[in-house]
Amino acid sequence: MAQVSMTVNGKSVSGDVEGRTLLSSFLRDHLSLTGTHVGCDTGQCGACVVHVNGESVKSCNMLAVEADGAEVGTIEGQANPDGSLNVIQQAFQEHHGLQCGFCTPGMVMSAAALLKENPKPTEAEIREYLEGNICRCTGYHNIVKAIMAASGQDVGAIAAE
């Protein structure tokens, strides 16, 4: 066992983990932050995307010990300080960017990483950035619309497919 300490959503946390404990398990099972979802558990679906030192990573594909000392951001830290939905979450709601909601935490975290890097992405850039986030309900269209809206751009420009 090893002790790990990190900052998660601005709070200092620590815990004893095995070398093989995944970051996703540490967040969900040790910290009870179950908003981070584990879908495929193979690094493909993106439901487990969190931010580590400001960059999106698949938390099921990273050991918890590798995040020792890191700043970690999860979906639980995305809402505004008063508890209201942030601009991306609000846009997902308004544009029906989710149906079952399982992929949504990863989608929102990826969208946040994209908008930090590229505040006004084109539709093509959004679709390419979401390559590692799989959604089986929406057909992606409303997710793309939501991210366009969250970036302050006109969603009317996106033609229905």
E-only strand ranges, 18-93: 49-52, 55-58, 71-73
Which is nearer to another protein, 93 or 128 (by Cβ)?
128
Which is nearer to another protein, 49 or 155 (by Cβ)?
49
Alpha-carbon span 141 to 56, nearest angstrom: 22
Question: Could you identify the residue written with the tokens 């990483």?
Answer: 113
Closest distance of CB 58 from another protein, Å: 5
Question: Could you identify the residue written with the tokens 């990863």?
Answer: 106
Among 6, 33, 57, 88, binds another protein (CB under 8 A): 57
Contact between 41 and another protein by CB under 8 A: the answer reads: yes
Among 42, 124, 156, 160, binds another protein (CB under 8 A): 42
CA distances from 50 to 56, 58, 60 (A): 6, 6, 10
Residues 101-140 close enough to bind another protein by CB under 8 A: 110, 113-114, 129, 131-133
Which is nearer to another protein, 41 or 76 (by Cβ)?
41
Among 3, 5, 16, 18, binds another protein (CB under 8 A): 18
- Let me know: does 158 contact 151? Beta carbons within 8 Å: no
Nearest to 49 by CA among 64, 34, 60, 63: 60
By CB under 8 A, how many residues form the interface with another protein? 28
Both tokens of residue 88? 């991306």
Contact between 61 and another protein by CB under 8 A: the answer reads: yes
Instruction: Report the 10 Å Cβ neighbour count for 81.
Output: 6
Measured CA angle at 26 (ends 12, 135), to 5 deg: 115
Contact between 58 and another protein by CB under 8 A: the answer reads: yes
Binding footprint of another protein on the chain (CB under 8 A): 2, 18-20, 22, 41-43, 46, 49, 52, 55-58, 61-63, 65-66, 68, 110, 113-114, 129, 131-133
